[in-house]
Amino acid sequence: MEQINPTRMELIKKNAQIRLAEQGRDLLREKMDALIQEFFNVMESVSQSRGELERISDAAQHALLIALAIDDPVTLKSASFATRRGITLDIKGKNVMGVPVPIIEKKRFVKSLLERGYSILGVSGRIDEAAEKYEAELDLIITLAETETSLRRLGNEIQMTRRRVNALEQVLIPELKRQAKYIEITIDERDREDLYRLKKVKKIIERKKKAAEIM
């Protein structure tokens, strides 16, 4: 145990530290409960999005295979080059119980026939369908990236908060209570010793008083 000054003032200080630590622990527990609730809400969304992404991905691949089997490969390749372009995302953020999570500006990547950049007359409906499904897949990938990042950050914050709660509950608060108990015991022992000395002094005074009366 660290060097402690066993005084009543120090005992008051330790008891105040215990109350403060317990309040901090309770607040962190409330925060952790809220984070866990939000984590499961986001996880449900991620689970649904992953299932939807798998379905859309299979449909897109199926549409592409049909186009490859029926349409002219040169036409298909030209259409793919015509639609190739960079993607710009507007990423913002928000706080969930003090945890920064990304918010990706919702932009639909599904385009109209005129927006894809290739000639409408030279491309079949099969190629259009494949392009539409892959654009829908890209939409969902962007959404999933946002929610999975949020899920990961929430999970990290939950673990960190749990470690803080455990540190307060299992280390700091018990140590403060041991120190407070040590001070209480020391003060009680000192009080008993003082009382014993006072009684002894009183007896000595009484004996001297009786001896003086006899003389």
Quote the tokens at residue 160: 């960190």
% residues pLDDT > 70 (the chain): 79
* Cα 16 from chain centroid (whole Å): 29
Angle (CA) 150-154-156 rounded to 5° is 120
Predicted pLDDT of residue 28: 94
With tokens 């041991």, the residue in question is 178
pLDDT score of 99 more than 80? yes
Quote the tokens at residue 82: 């015509």
> What's this model's pTM, rounded to 2 decimal places?
0.70
The residue-averaged pLDDT of 77-101 equals 70
Predicted pLDDT of residue 175: 94
Instruction: Report how many helices (DSSP H) and strands (DSSP E) the chain contains, helices first.
Output: 4, 2
Predicted pLDDT of residue 29: 94
With tokens 């392009």, the residue in question is 131
Ordered by where they begin, the domains of the chain are 8-214 (1.10.287.3240)
* Most confidently predicted of 30-39, 73-82, 83-92: 30-39
Predicted pLDDT of residue 169: 94
> What CA–CA distance (Å, rounded) separates 96 from 79?
43
> What CA–CA distance (Å, rounded) separates 107 from 128?
20
Q: Report CA Rg, the chain.
A: 37
C-alpha distances (whole Å) from 61 to each of 48, 130, 152 are 20, 8, 29
Sign of the alpha-carbon dihedral angle for 162, 166, 172, 174: positive
